Amino acid sequence: MPFIPHTDTDVEQMLGAIGASSVEALFDEIPAALRCGRLDRVPERMTEMEITRLMHERADADGRPLNFIGAGAYEHHVPAAVWEIVTRGEFYSAYTPYQAEASQGTLQVIYEFQTMMCGLTGLDVSNASLYDGATALAEALLMAVRANRKSKSHRILMPRSVSPVYRQVVHAICAAQQLKLVELDYDPATGATPEAALAEHAGSDIAAVVIPHPNFFGCFEAVDSMTDWAHANGALAVAVVNPIALALTRAPGEWGEQGVDICCGEGQPLGSPLSSGGPYFGFMTCKQALVRQLPGRIVGRTLDMDGKPGFALTLQAREQHIRRGKATSNICTNQGLLVTAATIHMSILGPVGLQQVARASMANTRKLVAALTELPGIEPVFTGAGFHEAVLRFDQPVRPLVDALGERGVIGGYALEGVYPELTNCLLVCATETKTDADIDTYVQTLAALMRPASAA
Amino acid sequence: MPFIPHTDTDVEQMLGAIGASSVEALFDEIPAALRCGRLDRVPERMTEMEITRLMHERADADGRPLNFIGAGAYEHHVPAAVWEIVTRGEFYSAYTPYQAEASQGTLQVIYEFQTMMCGLTGLDVSNASLYDGATALAEALLMAVRANRKSKSHRILMPRSVSPVYRQVVHAICAAQQLKLVELDYDPATGATPEAALAEHAGSDIAAVVIPHPNFFGCFEAVDSMTDWAHANGALAVAVVNPIALALTRAPGEWGEQGVDICCGEGQPLGSPLSSGGPYFGFMTCKQALVRQLPGRIVGRTLDMDGKPGFALTLQAREQHIRRGKATSNICTNQGLLVTAATIHMSILGPVGLQQVARASMANTRKLVAALTELPGIEPVFTGAGFHEAVLRFDQPVRPLVDALGERGVIGGYALEGVYPELTNCLLVCATETKTDADIDTYVQTLAALMRPASAA
Amino acid sequence: MTESLIFEHSRPGRSASAQYPAGDFDVDLPAGLERTSELGLPEVSELQAVRHFTRLSQLNFSIDTHFYPLGSCTMKYNPRACNRLAMLPEFLSRHPLAPVSASQGFLACMYDLQEILKDVTGMKGVSLTPMAGAQGEFAGVAMIRAYHDARGDTGRTEILVPDAAHGTNPATATMCGYVAREIPTDDNGDVDVEALKAALGPQTAGIMLTNPSTLGVFERRISEISKLVHEAGGLLYYDGANLNAILGKVRPGDMGFDVIHMNLHKTFSTPHGGGGPGSGAVGVSERLLPYMPIPVVGKANDDSFRWLDEDDLPQSIGRLSGFMGNAGVLLRAYVYARMLGRDGMHRVAEFAALNANYLMARLEQAGFDLAFPGRRASHEFIVTLKRQHKSVGVTATDVAKRLLDHGFHAPTVYFPLLVPECLLIEPTETESKEALDAFVDAMIAIAKEAEDDIEHLRGAPYTMPVRRLDDVRAARQLDVRYQPDDQAA
Amino acid sequence: MTESLIFEHSRPGRSASAQYPAGDFDVDLPAGLERTSELGLPEVSELQAVRHFTRLSQLNFSIDTHFYPLGSCTMKYNPRACNRLAMLPEFLSRHPLAPVSASQGFLACMYDLQEILKDVTGMKGVSLTPMAGAQGEFAGVAMIRAYHDARGDTGRTEILVPDAAHGTNPATATMCGYVAREIPTDDNGDVDVEALKAALGPQTAGIMLTNPSTLGVFERRISEISKLVHEAGGLLYYDGANLNAILGKVRPGDMGFDVIHMNLHKTFSTPHGGGGPGSGAVGVSERLLPYMPIPVVGKANDDSFRWLDEDDLPQSIGRLSGFMGNAGVLLRAYVYARMLGRDGMHRVAEFAALNANYLMARLEQAGFDLAFPGRRASHEFIVTLKRQHKSVGVTATDVAKRLLDHGFHAPTVYFPLLVPECLLIEPTETESKEALDAFVDAMIAIAKEAEDDIEHLRGAPYTMPVRRLDDVRAARQLDVRYQPDDQAA
Ligand SMILES: Cc1ncc(COP(=O)(O)O)c(C=O)c1O
Ligand SMILES: Cc1ncc(COP(=O)(O)O)c(C=O)c1O
């Protein structure tokens, strides 16, 4: 009986103590008609040896192709130490730190994490994580609507340069609470949101303006003027950022005159492997004044009975287990282990490490773009300076190329036309610090071989 | 500076405290003529990201072929829990437990290990490991010569059915101390050492008789009569065993009238992955009376100042750091981490698990032999019942077949003719519990395709 | 044992330089966008980081080190194989948007898991994307809403929730734009059916139940409740956070539920990780199939696996995560499910119930009061200290903190809220009888201490890295990030 | 905190059944060979085993948790990448006898490592097979013997060993059939050259030295010693266990040594694992090349890698392990070497020396006596408590045990044997200045305690899982395995 320690003697003695004739008898409150039969579609058990082999085979089937997609999930080097520590039983198999005295390890990690996220984003308070970047944005907007004292509006200005998936998730989560997303188009030349797109909404009642940094195309927005515009128009400024970009660029807390009110984003680039899309974690920081509207857990430092400092969950009155239907969010379990990974990751990389990763990623994407656009039939789409992602337009359909590249071990990029119909034949490509010149060359050579017939055509 | 925490300020302050002008000055006692220049053949450093990639590429180059070799190193399933715990920093990065009070974890593990090895082998005392099975046998024979009170002889009866490599290692290590290995031939029909081979030496002065169990061919020896013969002739009986075999077969401590005096062997099948041959560990157990001749570390249970039980290294007067030139061996660092793995492995498998592994391995080898000998041109060589290894004779040279199989992802067996010239065209094959019927079929099919032309010839 | 903050180990100019590319890179940031402030990250060596976090880890209780009978949380053994196999390099390096041709191995696991979950819940479809129980609830209630909306049945504004329900249930109802209306519990721990009847009406969108309830007892009139709710036009939501109670014994689908979320981080033993990640996969009945959150994994005609997205499920409630949820958690759950296998699934509830009922019987015999005496425990049960609170002033917190000193994690306290001074105790099926017996001994010792020396008990814990912490101060003098000029709090 | 024995968790019939094949297998053992006694293994669940060993691990000090200035042991940071990469599934599953065609990746690593080790030692050939320092010593002295034998120079019966040498040196000499003859050390920690001259003769097979010596000082007259020994017809053996002292600063080959072993588990940072595994790779000068232990990795004409064995090295001293030694350890050392790179090699000794000299200076300033004042520390140095032992009766053991209470592992004590009440202190290059400063503070506090309250000091440690253990009892009332009817010792 895998994972069950009971011997026959144990079972007998235990039933004796209970006064039950059999284990079956313990279920006698369940109406007989409801009792289920054999679970036919669950296969017979495998030993650990057998499942190990099966999983290796499945992993091998997918291989480790050369990846040039970003689009919200970035391949970065994660120091081996990170996951060797994260998966220690004491972190891995602990629960949410409800019993603070027996959970000082997890609690201190979160406190350190909060400090780091405040530092990176230039804001005052951080929570202990949300599910992922997309849901973090959804929660940030719900929070903005709750927190905005100048406006009761539920309208949100949402640039189309925000990840289309994020926009979908925000819609799925916030629509029932009547949030209205008003889209702002991007400038087809620069890829960024033009001032005019905002100006159009001047004077109308708006709860919040979303500012992506960098945006989905890898382009930088005019973060200062957008922040100021939001504040001038009674809206909160909500930044959605790639934390790696913050290593080189001004902190959202310092954008414009007053800084953004809320900053959120996908924490994956900070120590979470790509891992098919999760588990990652969403982060959120805000100004001190908004702390009571912040969703999710928060750890605070306090004192024990002897006056010694220690850590505990705090401001729990915001949360569902206390406030129930009136909580700031329904979130309960969050992404603790990934936060632990991020905290260790950021500690090991430090400021210099994070900056170097950011620089190398930017430089590599530049190189990739330069190399690919040397091929006939490939052009950059946007002129603005960007981070570690870029959009390229092909003179031919990109999906077949992506498929063909995939068969040759190159994951070539993300085809944009599904989500931006106007960007036909456009590919979003990315090269982080993990890519060498040889990798870029492999991509270019493989692609060149595939494109030739089409270009000739 | 990878792995160096010093800031410039640190260096400056430290030199100040030392009163040295530079770090170079700290080496001023080294004659200038001896100082070395640049290490030209050491390549420039790689980041962890770069070496990770290189090692992945090298690992991929070797792949994970289907392995049918045993010959002293056996592929068994190792529960994932084993190495996840073994590589915890507290085990992985601790030193030999010289400060007992700060090393109770390691010490208790070894005490538990010693208990398990005594249980498996049916003897009284175990040490805390030797380097590997081959050196364990060498140490066992040196020990036997020291311990044998009836004989001052340095002659050892060594069956040729003992692993040829073990015999080479014993020779390399023991020759300088004048040990003489007298070889006993095996019965070409059964693969085991015939009584007559021993009988020849009756009455001559002999220090010890080596009894392999099972022997290199996978065959069982007449362990009881060999043990008794040794004792009748004033020799010590030294067993060299595969610990997995002991799950099903009588403990060496119970062989013959009095049991063997010393038992040793390769611990690898108990939780060490194949890992290109190491690190593994040698084990050694013996009768209580011989404990002061036992080489290597031993952990004992004792009491602390409060009368509470605890663990410490003991009988250190046997060891080189105390006894120096007169120590039982020069061994110092042993294979602690593998012992930790073995202790966890044996705890998780338990008696039933170990028995099932042994049974499945035996049964699989039977199946493999049956399937291969159905092919024309392949015959079993020995008749005796064996453990999870067997010798097959081919009607054609085996080395080219092994190479060709290797290219097709099947590691087909170990060609014996290099070490047993009489066993031309013979292959030692093995199928542990890790092999499925489909694997065996793959082997057979792949081989059949390769053999056809030769059989036809 | 405590450990200073990582920031206190920091020195300007120190770094783990094996971990990032050296050299000057050619980057051109738009003017004025350059970072001006410090990043606020510590500057430490790799060893310092490893040592710091290793030491921090040792300050935690965890399943791998302690019995952890935290009710409603299912702290059972997390097989290490699940972790190891989910972390094979190929799985870790797979980009979520990689083409399906390079994803068949991963997708096969997900498809298989969907099938297994369908079978154990008795539902018709499963979507794996929700990232924790609460998001599963959101998905479920959003599907209920989508169902009513699709039928033009837009007057339904209420979700009924028993008063004992987990806080996520009413919070979810709110997030989905509903009003949560509480239904009381009767003295036996069952839903008050008369109150339910009174509450049902054309405004009822549905009810969120868990059965066995969070009170640890099985709702015996479930078929009747199901009938009543359906007759009122509402749908039934099953909070399957605690499927450990019934796995292989009774299926939510067979009880008449329309939708369920599962906490794979409980029943399917993926780790809790000190607060996540989780996975809140949802299962649905026939009528909610069109609304499942995307993506789902389907089979193509050639038996290869593919994503089902908005094209396949145009009525879907949409996407709830950037990709497909906590994929790595799902891989762990899959490995676990395969190692359990069919018989193992049936055994989960059997031995979870055996352990719970045994522990309940032993504690009752030892003089503790049960919240619902005479009922069977499900996988968990409730001890109430109401009597002892009255007599000697002991609180559930006192007992919880003192258990830590005895080497046991505390049960869940003060949940469900309606039972005074309650300890919700869930031993799980992976604990041995000896562990349960030792826990009983500790409880007896603590009860005795409460009689003999309540002051000492109130000072507990004594053996943890810190003594009892001041929560009020934590909330009032908010200190939620380290600032270099801080004095220790 | 202590933990019961695993056997005490055992119950007949319990097992971790996910871990072995179920079913009946057809096996036919020869009659009478069947096992008759119990195996003596515990019967526990997987969780019980995980919990037991996780808890046990927490009872250890280790580099990952504590500063560990154990002299002659080089307890520096073991980069986790080394472990992770050595444990890639392909490396773990490679059978040692797999054909070279399926081994090129592994062999490339070994070949590269050989080259790197040649360069850092200044030797002409390297064999990686010895499995720890002591086996490396054996290989080295066996090669010296083989060299003399090959020349028919068979009258050499002695190996010279300084009195300060590690115990493995004389023990190795014995194992190689030599008599170990001790050479005294002078007051400055150098070899007494006059005594050496007197000892040299036609019976001299060679000398085993380490430089810097185990006294932590550099042997300044090494060239002279080398000349003397060679002139007497002997060879020079370098005990390179502690190469951390000189890496990139001076090479044993350049100092005139003929053979060296290296402890890769020290200088190349492979883990000590609570007592191994190690790796004692040997390097040789030109004249010992033919005798290297096999196998060695060579390059074939087509630049592929291959094993060099008895066919290539017919005069080899032979095989010292079943396959090629501790391959997995060698992979770790290789990864480490590549991450250090050329400049990193040079830095090892620099920062090891900086830390040692700093710590030495601080302790001297704090009033501690150095065994060799006025000398530079190498990577380590010796404090002697002779004076304090006389005045207040404090022993090196007292200080060692009390350091544990201060959160530091103790230095090596009572080695080298010739310095009374000695503490051999090796901080290593991976420790920060703060760690060293904190250690000095602890030493000062302990020195003060020795003056103020020697009885209390003698009772140390107070904060470990056990108090000071009775070693005499351990040896006299030998209890080296658990027997079920045992009372606790
Ligand atoms: C009964 C019940 N419902 C819902 C939840 C919420 O699940 P999660 O924490 O995964 O969001 C939990 C667990 O915390 C629970 O116990
Ligand atoms: C100077 C010296 N020589 C030799 C050795 C022996 O090395 P090992 O323990 O690896 O056998 C050691 C380490 O213990 C040592 O410090």
Distance of CA B296 from the midpoint of ligand 2 (Å): 14
pLDDT of residue B453: 59
Please name the residues between 427 and 446 in chain A that touch chain B, using a CB distance below 8 Å.
433-434
How many other C-beta atoms are found inside a 10 Å radius of the C-beta of residue C439?
A: 23
pLDDT of residue A217: 97
Residues B340 and B405 occupy one common structural domain: no
pLDDT of residue D484: 83
Residues B311 and B381 occupy one common structural domain: no
Residues A376 and A329 occupy one common structural domain: no
Residues A319 and A395 occupy one common structural domain: no
> B128: which 2 tokens?
């805390």
Give the mutation target among C72, C131, C262, C265 for probing the ligand 1 site: most ligand atoms within 8 A of CB: C72
CA-CA-CA-CA torsion sign (C304, C308, C312, C313): positive
C369 exposure class (CB count in 10 Å sphere: 0-12, 13-18, 19+): middle
| Contact residues, chain D, for B306 at CB < 8 Å | 467
Residue A143 lies in a domain: yes
To the nearest whole number, what is the mean pLDDT of chain C? Answer: 96
| Contact residues, chain B, for D319 at CB < 8 Å | 134, 165, 168-169, 172
Closest ligand to C-alpha of residue D161 is: 2
pLDDT > 90? residue C2: no
To the nearest whole number, what is the mean pLDDT of chain D? Answer: 96
Q: How far is B262 from chain C (nearest CA, A)?
A: 37
A164 exposure class (CB count in 10 Å sphere: 0-12, 13-18, 19+): middle
CB-side neighbour CA atoms (13 Å) of B236 = 29
Evaluate: CB of D134 within 6 angstroms of ligand 2.
yes
Distance of CA C214 from the midpoint of ligand 1 (Å): 10
Residue B364 lies in a domain: yes
Q: Are A94 and C59 in contact (CB under 8 A)?
A: no
Evaluate: CB of C242 within 6 angstroms of ligand 1.
yes
To the nearest whole number, what is the mean pLDDT of chain B? Answer: 96
Partner-chain contact C45 B4, CB within 8 Å: yes
pLDDT of residue B385: 67
pLDDT > 50? residue A255: yes
pLDDT of residue B386: 80
CA distance A19 to A455: 81
Q: Is B56 at the interface with chain C, CB within 8 A?
A: yes
Q: Is A6 at the interface with chain D, CB within 8 A?
A: yes
Give the pLDDT band of residue A384 (cuts 50, 70, 90). Answer: confident
The CATH code of the domain that includes B101 is 3.40.640.10
Residues B386 and B245 occupy one common structural domain: no
Residues A222 and A238 occupy one common structural domain: yes
In 3D space, the residue among B326, B264, B258 whose CA is nearest the CA of residue B292 turns out to be B326
Partner-chain contact D18 C339, CB within 8 Å: yes
Encode pLDDT of B286-342 as tens digits. Answer: 999 999 999 999 999 999 999 999 999 999 988 888 888 888 999 999 999 999 999
Average pLDDT score over residue span D225-246: 96
Residue A287 lies in a domain: yes
Q: How far is C54 from chain D (nearest CA, A)?
A: 6
DSSP code string of B122-171: T-SEE-S-BS-HHHHHHHHHHHHHHH-SS----EEEEETTS-HHHHHHHH
Average pLDDT score over residue span C333-349: 97
Domains within chain C, CATH numbers bracketed: 81-339 (3.40.640.10), 344-473 (3.90.1150.10)
> End of a domain among A287, A317, A345?
A345
Q: Is B370 at the interface with chain D, CB within 8 A?
A: no
Q: Are D272 and D75 in contact (CB under 8 A)?
A: yes
Helix, strand, coil abundance in chain B, percent, nearest 5: 45, 15, 40
How many other C-beta atoms are found inside a 10 Å radius of the C-beta of residue C366?
A: 12
pLDDT > 80? residue B3: yes
Distance of CA D241 from the midpoint of ligand 2 (Å): 5
Distance of CA D266 from the midpoint of ligand 2 (Å): 9
Distance of CA D133 from the midpoint of ligand 2 (Å): 5
Beta-carbon contacts of D449 under 8 Å, excluding residues fewer than 6 positions away, are D402, D456, D457
Residue B409 lies in a domain: yes
pLDDT of residue B326: 87
Evaluate: CB of D132 within 6 angstroms of ligand 2.
yes
> End of a domain among B289, B320, B345?
B345
Average pLDDT score over residue span A160-189: 97
* SS3 of residue B280 by DSSP: coil
A438 exposure class (CB count in 10 Å sphere: 0-12, 13-18, 19+): exposed
Distances (CA, A) of C58 to A3, A128, C54, C464, D75: 25, 20, 7, 11, 21
Residues A174 and A106 occupy one common structural domain: yes
Give the pLDDT band of residue D486 (cuts 50, 70, 90). Answer: low
- Best residue in C6, C15, C17 for a mutation probing chain B (most B CBs within 10 Å): C17
Residues A167 and A245 occupy one common structural domain: yes
Q: How many residues does chain A have?
A: 457
pLDDT of residue C488: 43
pLDDT > 90? residue C445: yes
Residue A35 lies in a domain: no
> A330: which 2 tokens?
């329904």
Residue A50 lies in a domain: no
The number of folded domains in chain B is 2
Q: How many residues does chain C have?
A: 489
Residues A288 and A414 occupy one common structural domain: no
The CATH code of the domain that includes A387 is 3.90.1150.10
pTM above 0.90, yes or no: yes
To the nearest whole number, what is the mean pLDDT of chain A? Answer: 96
DSSP code string of B298-313: -EEEEEBTTS-EEEEE
In 3D space, the residue among B120, B68, B60 whose CA is nearest the CA of residue B270 turns out to be B120
Q: Is A118 at the interface with chain C, CB within 8 A?
A: yes
CA distance C354 to C357: 5
Please name the residue whose Cα sits nearest to atom 10 of ligand 1. C133
Residues A70 and A141 occupy one common structural domain: no
Give the pLDDT band of residue A140 (cuts 50, 70, 90). Answer: very high
Please name the residue whose Cα sits nearest to atom 8 of ligand 1. C133
CA distance D72 to A382: 61
Of the partner residues D58, D432, D434, the one whose CB lies closest to the CB of residue C58: D58
Evaluate: CB of D244 within 6 angstroms of ligand 2.
no
Residue A145 lies in a domain: yes
| Contact residues, chain C, for D432 at CB < 8 Å | 9, 11, 14, 45, 48
Closest ligand to C-alpha of residue A331 is: 1
Give the mutation target among A131, A330, A332, A334 for probing the ligand 1 site: most ligand atoms within 8 A of CB: A332
CA dihedral C398, C401, C405, C410 (to 10 degrees): 120
pLDDT > 80? residue C284: yes
pLDDT of residue B185: 98
Encode pLDDT of D313-329 as tens digits. Answer: 999 999 999 999 999 99
Residue A447 lies in a domain: yes
How many other C-beta atoms are found inside a 10 Å radius of the C-beta of residue D1?
A: 11
Q: Is B77 at the interface with chain A, CB within 8 A?
A: yes
Q: Are C478 and A303 in contact (CB under 8 A)?
A: no
pLDDT of residue D488: 43
Range of the domain at B180: 80-345
Please name the residue whose Cα sits nearest to atom 6 of ligand 1. C133
Residues B162 and B267 occupy one common structural domain: yes
> End of a domain among A345, A368, A393?
A345
Q: Are D78 and C46 in contact (CB under 8 A)?
A: no
Residues A71 and A140 occupy one common structural domain: no
Average pLDDT score over residue span C426-431: 98
Encode pLDDT of D162-206 as tens digits. Answer: 999 999 999 999 999 999 999 999 998 999 999 999 999 999 999
Which atom of ligand 2 is nearest to D135's Cα? 11
- Give me the percent of chain D exceeding a pLDDT of 70: 99
In 3D space, the residue among A204, C223, A106 whose CA is nearest the CA of residue A114 turns out to be A106
What ipTM, to 2 d.p.? 0.98
